[in-house]
Structures are given as structure tokens and as C-alpha cells.
Structure 1
Amino acid sequence: RQGGLNGTLSLDGMDVSMEVLRITAPEDNLNALTMNPTIQAYKKLEEVHITRSNIPNLGTHFFWGLNKLEILNLSQNNITQPLDHNFRGLYNLRELYLDDNKIYSLPSGTFRYLTNLVILSIQRNRMHEMMPRVFQQLEKLKVLKLSGNSLVKLNPEIFKDIEALTVFECRGCAFEEMDSEIYSLVPYLIHLDLSDNNISHLNAKEFQYLTDLKSLNLDGNRISAIPADLFSKQSQLTALSLARNSLNELSPMSFVNLKSIVELDLSFNKLEHVDATLLKPVEYTLERLVLSGNHIPIGEIRDLLRKNQVLKVLEIADCGLQEITESVLPEKLSVLSLAGNYLTKLSPDVLPQSLAELDLSRNHFRGLEEEIMQRIETMSKLKLDSNPWTCDLCHIRPLLLRANRTEIYSLKCASPYHYENKLLGTLHRSQLNWCTAPIYTSSNENSFLTVDDGKIGIIAAGASVALLVLIIFSILAAFLYSKRHAAKYYTHEEKRTDERESIFENQSPLFGEELSFKFPMDTGEKKVAIATIDEIKNHALSNGT
């Protein structure tokens, strides 16, 4: 297990009566071994596991004589092309694992000497096609795993020799479609996994031959619609996953024939509305429902679950929910995920008494009230991480009282800024401030000011009020001054007009024997220019006097 072995595989000194052989290495110190026939001396071997050893090939008749060998695991090596003679003599072998090698092709009849083989796993290799009759003589094969090979398309001919197959997995095989003839050749399939392919269309008769099917995984494809009769023959189906597809609506008839369904995963599709009768055919059997990642209104979720009698697990994470109202959650629910929503509060009245596991992570909770804490503190599993906890006495006091519980101790404060990222369990009540009234911002409508931040807010508010009063006073003063100046101006103008009229009405001072210089004087700030006699005469003559 320490790794670093190099050269030819040597078993010198090992007990010849051993039944299990394991040779492996850590990822950072792989072995570099080549095989040799010395293993043939260990006739009682029942299991051989040689992994992470960079074995390039298996050699001719390498396992000859190991009649008791039932499990052969050669995963995580560098094998490129197994041939039929590599497995000659292993007629009792039941399980063969060749995962994570560099196999690029398998000739027809590669496994023809493994007549009792039940499980064959060739996952995550480099195969792009499979030759017809590659599984020749594997009449007892029950489990075939080909996931992680870019096969694109499978020839139905390769399934003609494995009619007894009950489990077929080909995740990530780049399929765009499956030839329905394949299903007619393996009618006893119980488990079918075609996840993470490129399938976009399903024919209404796609699975008509798979009447024994109990588990079907179609998640991670591009399916946009489910034909109403797609599952018409799958009355024994107990688990169905349609997660991570492009479903935007589901017909009320989609699951009408799934009379045995226990688990249904519709997560991360594009569902925004669901018919209230969608789950009516499965209301007495459905125990686990996953709707996460679909923005279905809470009212429609309530209507969808209203008559469910046996639902135990409900996942409605990442659904954009802002509240959970009463009568939404079924009364027998034991596991609930509300992670990744926009919840800021939760009433204990909405939670069923049977609830034992609750996930409230990645919401907008800043604190939890004592009532809800009393309701959830006894649950066997509780997740509260990744919420913007405000570490003041107004918000986290009920949490702080229960900080000895691991999942509460490790919660991180988001505010005030001097406690950011600090573990809640490391805080003491005496360190915390009270809080002020809530303020609302565009980024988070439920944010609160703490006392420290409140002081800054009060100072800023006071300054704003003072500035406003000063502005109003300045405007009022300017207004009064302008009115006074205008009144004074018009008074002076009236006096000057009267003076001018008096001068021209009484002309004796200008032409009499004695010139009078007693002009009326303005006692104000205005100055009056004094004209000479000649200027006055000239002015008088020019006016015709």
C-alpha cells in the first residue's frame, strides 16, 4: 500500500495458501509493475486486486490454473487491449474489473473463456466503439458497466449474447439516442442508467420491453418533454431520476402508470408551474421527492403535496422561496431540505412533528428566534451554515445558548465587520452588542445596524438634519433681505422723484437775485452730485425755460 514498487511482480515469501491478494499504491506514489506467471503457484486464491500499478498488459495464460479465483480487479493500470487468452483458465471467475485503464478496443470474443462471469466493469477507458459479439459466451452476465467511454452509439448486436442482463450502466457515453431494439434484446433489465449523455428525445414506446425495470436514471441529458405513455409498462418502477434536463412542463398523465414509485427526482429542470394532479397516481407510494432547482411557487408546491400520504423526504432547495407557509409540508415528513433559498425567518408551526433532519444552509437568516430553536435543536441532523449571521444579541442569542452543538459552534459571523468569519462558538455574550432598528438596502432587505454601526448612522443623520436647517435658514434670510432692500429702493426712488418735481416747479432759485443752494439732502447712503450754475442754466434752456 505504500507504493513505489518497480519491475516484475514478485510474490516470494508469501503464503501459498493465501486466498486474497491486494497490491495497490497511493495516488502520489504509484507502482510500476509487469506481470509474470509466478502467481499460478497460489492455487487457493479467490480474490486478486492489483491496482494503481501501471501494468501495461496481462501476458499469455498469466492466470492459468487459478480455478478458485472469483474476483479479479485490475483497475487503474495502463492496460490497452485485453485479449481472450489473457483470461484463459478462469472459468470460475464471477467478477472482472478493468476500470480506469487505457483500453481502446475489445475484439469479438474477448471474454469467451469467462463463462461464469456475472459482473463486468470496463468504465472510464478510451473505447469509441464495441465490436459485435464482444460478449460472446457471457450467457450468465448480469451486470455490465461501460460508463465514461465515448461510444456515441451502440450496435444492438453486442447484446445478443447477454440476454440475462439485469443491470446496464453507460453514464457519460455521449449517446444522442438509444436504439430501442437493444431493450428488446435485454428484456430483464432491472436497473438502467443512461445519465449524463446527450439524449434529447424519448419515443413514447422507448421502454415498452422493459417491464421488469425498477430503477431508471436519465438525469443530466437534454430531455425537454416526457410523452404521456412513456412509462406505461413500468408498473414495477420504484426509482426514477429526470434531474438536470430541460423539462419546462409535465403532463398530468406523465406518471399515471407508476404504481410502485418510491423515489422521484425532478431537480434542476426548468419547471415554473406544475399541475396539482401530477402526483395523484403516486400519492400512496411516493416517499422521496426532489424538486430542487425549479422555481415553482410555494402555493403550487402546497397543492402538489396536499394529498400525499407517505412522503418522508422532500428537497426543495434552490427554488427561490422567500417563505414557507403553513399546510405546505406533509405531516409524515422526516427529512427536509430548504437550502439555497431566500428565507429570513421560519415559523415552528410549519414544521411537521415527525421532522428529524433539516437543512437551512445558504439562506438569508441573520438570526433564529427562541421558538424555532426549541423546535429544531433536538433534530438528529441540522445544517445552518452559509447564512449571513449577525453576531449581536438581537439576532444570535438563542444560537449562542446552544453553541456547544457542533453544527452551531462552527457557524461563521457575517457582521458586524469586526466579527466577520469568526466562529460563533468562540464568542461570549459579554462581547456582543445589542442592535438597532433594521435598515433595508438593495442588496439585502433584511440587513440590520448593530450598535457600533448605529452610532455612525446617528451622527450621519444628525449632520444631515443640521445641514438641512442651515440651508433653510440661509434661504429665509436671503428672502427677508431681498424684500427689505426692495422696499428701501422704492422709498428712495419716490423721494428723488418728488425732489425733481419740486425743483422744476419752483424756478426762482435759478433766475432770482439770490441763488439758493438749499437742496433737499438725502439722509441715506445715496450721494447726490452738485451741478454748477452754468450747467443748470444750460439744462434749463435746453428744456425751454
Structure 2
Amino acid sequence: MVASGLYLRLFVINTVMTGFFFTVGSIELSMSNSVGEAFNCPAEVCRCGLDPRGRVKVVCDRGDLGDPIPIRAMDPLTEVLIIAAPDDKPNSLTIGPIFQSLAKLEQLKITNSFVPAIGKHSFWGLRSLRTLDLSLNNISALVESNFRGLITLEDLLLDGNIIDSIPSAAFRHLPALKRLSLARNHLSEFVPRLFYGLHRLEELELSDNPLQELEPEVFRDVRLLRTLRCRRCRLTYINPLLLHLLPDIVTLDLGENGFHYLDKNAFGDLPKLRHLYLDGNQVTVLTSGVLTGHNLTTLSLARNRMMTVDPAAFVNVSVTELDLSSNRLQSLDPFVFLPLNQSLRRLKIGANPLQVSHLWSSILSPRVQLNLSELDVADIPIGRDQHFQTDLFSFHHGIKSLNLSGTAFNYLPVEVIRSLPSLRQLDLSFNKLSSLTDLSLSALSALQGLRRIYLHGNPWYCDACVIGPMLKWLDISPASRHIKDGCRGLKTNAGNLTADYINDDGAQPCPVCQDPPSVAGVELPRLDHVNLPTCNYPPMLIDSQGLPSKPATAAGATLTPMGRFVIFLENPLYLALVCGVAVLLVAAVCAALAIVSRHAASYYTNEGKRSKTGQPVDPAVSDESEGLFPLTARVGHRGRILKVEKKATEQRMDAIENESQLLSKNNNGRIKDDTAEQVSPSSARTNGVVAITVTSRGVHCPAYPPVEQPERSLF
């Protein structure tokens, strides 16, 4: 039976049986169902079958497994053995030289089993073993004899133990080892020649050990190392000689340590460096020359304390993916990323106190000429800047992934969506969106490549008018499929979320209604489309143009004039416009009043000059004289020129001339040479003649006839 099982496994690929073509997967499935009959298997505590590569596999992961491990009940042809346990049901095991009967074993994994030690010669005879995983146990020390006989071993995982010391040459019996993990142990120092014999080692994982320093002498035996990770190792300094001894390093991860400053040309001895992780340190500035000459695929400087980036920091540098998020950058030189315009494809710049104007000038402006496919501007308040919203991404049509999480958008500008025709992933989480308008939904539907959109963390308003069109879009859009699959919580009351609704990191994976209260806390995909709350518009719904928008209304839904006025005033653009017009009107009225007041003051100030004759003017006589003698006086320069136009009849003018001659005879024919001529008519008013005094200052008509004076002598 065993022989027939082996024959089928070798002959299964591309075999035609009873007229049908069977694939490898289908044969593996059929053999898995009958493997209990074909192979020995401790079915009480384990499961047996074939892995995707067709190897005999035994899995014992139910937990609470104690000694002895049922090795004798397993088939000698077993190639993969996995012994694990859930966190609440850990195993309690010891190991020793008990695996010799499994000579075909290629992969051995014993985790979460409280193994206290490896023991001497425990794996002797396992000449086919390629992977040994003893992580998440209680191993406290290693000795040279632990790994004897493992001449073909390539992967050794010892992370998550309590190892605090390792002697020199402890791994010298592992000549083929390529990957070694000692992460999450208690190692505080390394002895010299620790890695003696590991001439083929390519990956070394040392993260989460309190090492504080990496001595160059320790790494002298692993010069072919290509990946070195030492995150959270309390490092504050890297000895340049260490990197000089490791010229083949491709990936260097020194994240979450205590580096304050990066020396010029610090990585100059690593010509093959492609992935550099320095995130989570305390670097305050990225100076020029640190990365000169490097062709990096990944550069992570996130979560540092950088306040500035030298304008020449990326000169003669190539970077494909750059992460500067969560720093203290308040401004960026407009040309700081210009040297990267041919290489940079993915940029994370979010969670910095950047102004939108700096974001535009240094990254999104066409003069920088970046050709980005992924952009993360999370937690930069783009939504508050009305000027840059609409055309912010208009020159980056090739962006496929855009993170706008936490950017203070209270509506989704249609122009932003239309300017990104290649978009495949859009993150709108943790904004202030209460709905998506019809225009926004139409623009999203036009994105043929959109496959994922994140909408959680927004205050969605879920009545029939506001959320109805959006629910229809969620039902049919491929971009929202993951939302429906990821919404696992049940309907809750008034926003009390179930425990399985929250992710481990506290993020809400599913959009939830905030209002009206009757549906608060309900996940959008679980809303009843038919029995949605009746229409009651939220305080503010605006479309992509920044104008008040009324969503598609249900039958009978209306908005009162007062409601429209409130929505109108809540729009900051309209409010500013109304205030501006009011200020202009007030200014115009004030200016008109000032002009009128000034004219009136000028008129009354010059009134004395117009009527002054040496004695007051009698209004009654003036009115009467105006009826008898309508004259138009036009005063010239300083009142010295008086032009009198005759408006009376010839008869009246003759009467005035006769009276004047009579007056001259009474005064002995003497006429004073003065600046004025005095004409005195007779006292009889029946002739219709009125006395007139004509001077250079004007015309005066006295109220009573002049009194006859006696002759005056010259002496």
C-alpha cells in the first residue's frame, strides 16, 4: 500500500486516468483523504497528509501535548513534521535523540512548546533536514553539540526564546546554513568568532536583543552576509569597520535604535546596498553625502525627528521607495526631490506638519517632474486648503495607490478623482465624510482599475437620501468587495461596537453609521436598503465644487428655506462672499455720506460771501425784488466782476434810469467814484420802482424806501 502511494505521487503530474486529466492539486487532495490508510499516523493528536509540494506531512497543533512526542506512531517516510499549539493551550515537551527514525525529514518545527533545551545530538542522522524551527520556546543556552549531524541544514530559527549566551563556534557543524534567526532573545553581547564555520550565511536576524554594540570582530566569519537586521538592539553607533567587513550587504535594517546623526558617506563601503531601514531612530537632519553614490530600492527614515532635509541630500542618489512619514518636517526645499525624478516611484510623506503649499512645490508641482505610482500624504490637512484641493494631483495621472487617510476632507472633490485615472487603491479613512455625492460616486465608478477603497473612520450619515446612492455603489463596485468581506461585526445599539469589530491596531475595518441615532453603530453593508431612516439632512453636505449639495431625495423629502439658508451659510466660501459684499456696501454708504456732508459744510461756509453787503439781507424784500427784477448774477474772479443780465421789460429799465438821473441832480451832479453805484428810487412804491444798491459784492434791495438826506458839502 505504501509502495502504491509512492508510485501515485511520482506519476501523478500530467497523467490521464479514465479519460480525464488530473492536476497535481486534485490528486494531492484525494491522497490526503486516504493518507490515514496509506501511512502511519497518530490520529489521536495529529493530522497527516501531503503538503503542496507532495511531501508527507504530519501536523500536531491541537495543544496540551506532553511527553513523549508520538514519533514511533509516525510513518518513516514523513518529510514535514510540525508540532505547535494555540496560545491558550501550549505544549510541554522535551527533545533529545528521538528523531532518528524519521530519516527523510526535511522540515521540523516545534514551537510554543516550552522546550527548555535542545540537548546533545538530538538531530543526529537527519541528513535531509533543511529547516529547523525551535522558536517560541524556553531555550536559555546553546552548546556546540546541539547541532551535530545537520550538515544539510539551511534555515535555523531560534527566535522568541530566552537565550542569553552563546559560546564561540556554536554553529560550526552547520556548514550549509544560509539563514539564522536569534531575534527576541536576551543576548547582551557576542563573543569573538561566534559565527565561526558559517561561511555560507546570507541572512542574520538579531532584532530585539539588548546588544548596544556590534563588534566588527564577531562578523569576520560571515563576509558573504547579504541581510543584517538588528532592530531594537539599543544601538547608538555603527563602527565603520563592521560595514567594511560586510561588502555584500544588500539589506541593512537598523530601525528603532538610538541613532542621532548619520555620518557623511556612512554607507560608502556597501556598494551593493539596496534596502536601508533607519526608521524609528532620532535622526534630526538628513545631510548631503550620507547616501551619495547609492542605488537604493528602499529607504526608510520614518518616525525620526527630522526637521529638515538638506537640498543636496539626494544628489547622485537613486531611490525607488522613500519613506519620510511621521517626522517633524515643516517645509521642504522645492528642488530636494528633483534628483529622484527618474527613480522615485513610491513616496510616503504623511504625518508631517507640512503646509499644502510645500507639498505642492516640492513634490506635486510639474517642475519637479516626479513620476509616482504610490503616494501617502496621510494626516496632512489637505482638506482644509480650498485653493489646492482640486488641482493638487492634476499632474500625476500615473498614481495607482493614494493614501488620503486623516486629511480632513469633509467632501470628496470630483477633480481629485478625475485626475487619477490609473488609481487602483484609495484610502479615505478617518476623514470627515458624511456621504459621497452622486458626482463623486460617478467619478469613482469611472475608475476601471479601482480595486480597493477604505472608508472606515468617517461619520457616515445613514438616511434614505444621503446614504442610499452610496449603498447601491457599494453593492456593485469591485473596489468595495473587501469591505463586505471584512465587516464581521453584528448590528449594535447606538454605536456600541462588538469586540470582533475592532482590529488589533484599533482601526475600524468597516464603515459605520454615526447618525441618525436609530442606526448609529451599524455597518454600512448591513443596512437595510428598504427600511432606511427617512430623510433628515445633516448640517453640511457639499459637492466637489464646494457648493451646497442636495443628495438624491426620496419621495416626499423636502428641505425648508431656513434649512437651505443654514446650509448656505455653513459653506465657508459663501460665508466669506456674503461678508465681503456686506463690507463693500457699508463702505460705499459711508463714502456717500462723507461726500454729502462735505458739500453741505462747504455751502454754508461760503454763504456769507454770497450775501455780504455791509448790512443784513431782508428776506421779504429779497423775495419781492426777485419778482420785480429777476436777475442772474454770475460772479467771476474774487467777486470783482459782476455780470448782470437784464430780465425785466424795457419800461421798468427806463423808470430806473429816470430815477437815477433825478437822484444825481439832487446831489449837485456829483457822483462818487466808488466801487459801487447807488441808485435811489423815489419813496412812492406805486410806480413799481424799487431802490437797488449795486456793488462789486452783489445786489441789495432794502426793505424800506431810502430816507432823503440833506445836501452834503464838500467842506
TM-score by length of 2: 0.60
* Letter of the 1:249 counterpart: T
Identical counterparts, % of pairs: 34
Correspondence for 2:470? 399
Deviation at 1:447, TM superposition (A): 12
Per the alignment, do residues 24 and 431 of structure 1 end up closer, same or farther by CA in structure 2, a change over 3 Å counting? Answer: closer
Q: Looking at CA atoms only, which structure, 1 or 2, has the larger radius of gyration?
A: 2
Equivalent position SS for 1:355 = coil
Q: String of CA shifts for 1:340-375, please: whole Å, max 9, x gaps.
A: 121112222223111121111100112221111111
Q: String of CA shifts for 1:480-520, please: whole Å, max 9, x gaps.
A: xxxxxxxxxxxxxxxxxxxxxxxxxxxxxxxxxxxxxxxxx
From 299, 316, 333, give the equivalent of 1:240. Answer: 299
Runs of 4 or more consecutive aligned structure 1 residues displaced over 6 Å after TM superposition:
446-452
- How far apart, in 1, do the equivalents of 2:352 and 2:380 lie? 5
Per the alignment, do residues 78 and 256 of structure 1 end up closer, same or farther by CA in structure 2, a change over 3 Å counting? Answer: same
Q: Is the 8 A contact 2:87 2:112 kept in 1?
A: yes
From 528, 532, 535, give the equivalent of 1:434. Answer: 535
- How far apart, in 1, do the equivalents of 2:250 and 2:324 lie? 21
Per the alignment, do residues 368 and 331 of structure 1 end up closer, same or farther by CA in structure 2, a change over 3 Å counting? Answer: same
Deviation at 1:434, TM superposition (A): 3.5
TM-score by length of 1: 0.78
In the alignment, is residue 223 of structure 1 matched against residue 288 of structure 2? no
In the alignment, is residue 273 of structure 1 matched against residue 334 of structure 2? no
- How far apart, in 2, do the equivalents of 1:327 and 1:364 lie? 19
* Letter of the 2:305 counterpart: S
Equivalent position SS for 2:259 = coil
Q: Which moved more, 1:320-329 or 1:269-278?
A: 320-329
Q: Is the 8 A contact 2:516 2:533 kept in 1?
A: no
In the alignment, is residue 336 of structure 1 matched against residue 407 of structure 2? no
Per the alignment, do residues 421 and 38 of structure 1 end up closer, same or farther by CA in structure 2, a change over 3 Å counting? Answer: closer
For 1:370-519, what aligned pairs fall within 5 Å after superposition? Answer: 370-377=438-445, 379-393=450-464, 395-404=466-475, 407=483, 411-425=511-525, 426-428=527-529, 431-435=532-536, 438=539
Structure 2 unmatched runs, 5+ = 1-60, 488-509, 542-546, 567-715
- How far apart, in 2, do the equivalents of 1:319 and 1:437 lie? 26
- How far apart, in 2, do the equivalents of 1:98 and 1:339 lie? 38
Equivalent position SS for 1:127 = coil
Q: Is the 8 A contact 2:390 2:415 kept in 1?
A: no
- How far apart, in 2, do the equivalents of 1:350 and 1:141 lie? 49
Correspondence for 2:382? 321
Per the alignment, do residues 347 and 75 of structure 1 end up closer, same or farther by CA in structure 2, a change over 3 Å counting? Answer: same
Q: Is the 8 A contact 1:294 1:318 kept in 2?
A: yes
Equivalent position SS for 2:128 = coil
From 222, 234, 248, give the equivalent of 1:188. Answer: 248
- How far apart, in 1, do the equivalents of 2:428 and 2:540 lie? 24
Equivalent position SS for 1:238 = strand
Q: Is the 8 A contact 2:404 2:429 kept in 1?
A: yes
Structure 1 unmatched runs, 5+ = 441-445, 462-545
Per the alignment, do residues 23 and 397 of structure 1 end up closer, same or farther by CA in structure 2, a change over 3 Å counting? Answer: closer
- How far apart, in 2, do the equivalents of 1:225 and 1:43 lie? 56
Q: String of CA shifts for 1:52-95, please: whole Å, max 9, x gaps.
A: 21111111112122222221111111111111111112122111
In the alignment, is residue 122 of structure 1 matched against residue 187 of structure 2? no
For 1:27-426, what aligned pairs fall within 5 Å after superposition? Answer: 27-234=87-294, 236-259=295-318, 261-303=319-361, 304-305=363-364, 306=366, 307-322=368-383, 323=385, 324-329=389-394, 330-351=396-417, 352-377=420-445, 379-393=450-464, 395-404=466-475, 407=483, 411-425=511-525, 426=527
Q: Which moved more, 1:316-325 or 1:28-37?
A: 316-325
Q: String of CA shifts for 1:300-340, please: whole Å, max 9, x gaps.
A: 22222234353111111111222533143511011111001
Deviation at 1:134, TM superposition (A): 0.4
Equivalent position SS for 2:343 = coil
Correspondence for 1:534? none
Deviation at 1:403, TM superposition (A): 4.4
Q: Is the 8 A contact 2:96 2:120 kept in 1?
A: no
Q: Is the 8 A contact 1:435 1:449 kept in 2?
A: no
Deviation at 1:427, TM superposition (A): 4.0
Per the alignment, do residues 56 and 415 of structure 1 end up closer, same or farther by CA in structure 2, a change over 3 Å counting? Answer: same
- How far apart, in 1, do the equivalents of 2:344 and 2:80 lie? 43
* Letter of the 1:384 counterpart: L
Q: Which moved more, 1:299-308 or 1:329-338?
A: 299-308
* Letter of the 1:237 counterpart: L
- Give the length in aligned residue pairs: 451
Equivalent position SS for 2:285 = coil
Equivalent position SS for 1:418 = helix
Deviation at 1:32, TM superposition (A): 0.9
* Letter of the 1:265 counterpart: D
